Amino acid sequence: MSIDSTAPTPAPGPASDGFTLDDYVRFVNDEIGMPLAPEQVAADFDELPDWDSLYLLKLVTALEPAIGRKVPVGKVLEARSLKEIYELAVTG
């Protein structure tokens, strides 16, 4: 059996090797400094008293190296919750 070196390399799996929603909530708390309870992750941004555009910038900037891939910023700007941003980040 031979290995075909021209075969495409599989894309990395979702959640960049296990970056779970719980990991993401901890990441938001620890890395960007925004207090977030697990039950708030799906809340609309308007329902998060501390949310502002600076947190969005900090989140995208910190998230890309943490998961090892680019975050689709255009789609992120349309997101209405941190959970939507998580889903975009791990699925592209």
Length of the chain in residues, anyone? 92
**What per-residue confidence (pLDDT) applies to 8?**
39
What pLDDT score does 48 carry? 95
Q: What is the pLDDT of residue 11?
A: 38
Question: Of 66 and 16, which is predicted with more confidence?
Answer: 66
Stretch 56-83: mean pLDDT: 94
The mean pLDDT value for 5-20 works out to 52
The per-residue pLDDT of the chain, averaged, comes to 85
Q: The whole model's pTM is what?
A: 0.79
What local confidence, expressed as pLDDT, does residue 17 receive?
Answer: 60
Q: Provide the greatest CA pair distance for the chain.
A: 60
Going along the chain from its start, the domains and CATH numbers come out as 21-91 (1.10.1200.10)
Rounded mean pLDDT of 1-23?
A: 56
Contact 48, 40 (CB under 8 A): yes
Q: How far is CA 14 from CA 1, 2, 24, 68, in A?
A: 30, 29, 13, 11
Q: How many helices (H) and strands (E) would you count in the chain?
A: 5, 0
**DSSP SS3 for 4:** coil
